Amino acid sequence: MTELLFRKDAYQREAKARVTRHTEEGGLVLDASLFYATGGGQPGDSGRLEWDGQDLSIATAVKGHGEDIVLVPSEPKPLPPVGAHVTQSIDWDRRFGHMRVHTALHLLSVVIPFGVTGGQISARHGRLDFDMPEAPQDKAALEQMLNDYVSLDARVSDGWITAAELDATPELVKTMAVKPPRSGGDIRLVRIGEADDWIDLQPCGGTHVARTGEIGALRLGKIENKGRQNRRVYLHLDS
């Protein structure tokens, strides 16, 4: 099982690890990973491994067997051998963009309080699909609400609840088609705001900024009609 270093500290950019195995597809697994694996609409991290004077560019990371994270090389080069000790480093600018956009999309789900049917994240923009009959009419007001939340510089933190506790509070789940990520039976919650005065609280396995002020200015993009009850709303980092 890969130790999820990004879960402990999303701001860590470099770490030591040991190669535990190679995959049949040409990837490799470390005993501890800074690389977030593709999931929940957030892309896997890219970056680099270094060992014994050699290096390997990593294009992305994907989920493997159980809790393993598989690193996918950018090109067909020799892999560090099983047992090798490597230094891993992530493409920080790209990761930080994902963190900013992911937290911003949580805020978008606050200002548009409808069920979420899908979403996607990149380093500069993202989108959510909402189960709503009509598109929002006042985009300027929604954009102002988003930037007001950013300007609060509210704290972003995480915690864990049991599956039974989540089942008892189903209103925490905003995604309609995707089940919350579970680890050992527990579910990670991401909170924006304080415990007794939160702005948003929902299950999430992704990486986030520590405070909303780090998101920077936001701009609402186009709103598309994707079906009778589905509206796709784009959100962009404006700085």
CA distance linking residue 235 with residue 221, whole number of Å: 5
Segment 202-213 shows an average pLDDT of 96
Strand 28-30 to 156-162 pairing? unpaired
Strand 186-194 to 85-90 pairing? unpaired
SS3 content of the chain, % helix, strand, coil (to 5): 20, 40, 35
> Residue 180 has what pLDDT?
67
Segment 17-32 shows an average pLDDT of 97
Identify the weakest region by mean pLDDT among 18-32, 70-84, 157-171, 205-219: 157-171
pLDDT over 60 (residue 114): yes
pLDDT over 80 (residue 179): no
In the chain, domain spans: 3-90, 95-237
pLDDT over 70 (residue 182): no
Q: What's the length of the chain? A: 239
Q: Which residue has the higher pLDDT, 120 or 182?
A: 120
Architecture of domain 95-237: 2-Layer Sandwich (3.30)
Nearest 5°: phi and psi at 185? 90, -15
> What is the pTM (predicted TM-score) of this model?
0.94
> Residue 79 has what pLDDT?
97
Measured in whole angstroms, the distance separating CA 27 from the mean position of its chain's CA atoms is: 22
Segment 183-212 shows an average pLDDT of 92
With a pLDDT cut of 90, the percent of the chain lying above it is 82
Segment 133-154 shows an average pLDDT of 95
> Residue 113 has what pLDDT?
93
Identify the weakest region by mean pLDDT among 42-46, 66-70, 95-99, 125-129: 66-70
- Residue type at 11? Y
Segment 20-41 shows an average pLDDT of 96
Q: Which residue has the higher pLDDT, 58 or 229?
A: 58
> Residue 104 has what pLDDT?
98
Q: Which CATH class is domain 3-90?
A: mainly beta
pLDDT over 80 (residue 185): no
pLDDT over 90 (residue 224): yes
Q: What is the mean pLDDT of the chain?
A: 94
Segment 124-144 shows an average pLDDT of 94
* pLDDT tens track for 36-85: 999 999 999 999 999 999 999 999 999 998 889 999 999 999 999 999 99
With a pLDDT cut of 70, the percent of the chain lying above it is 96
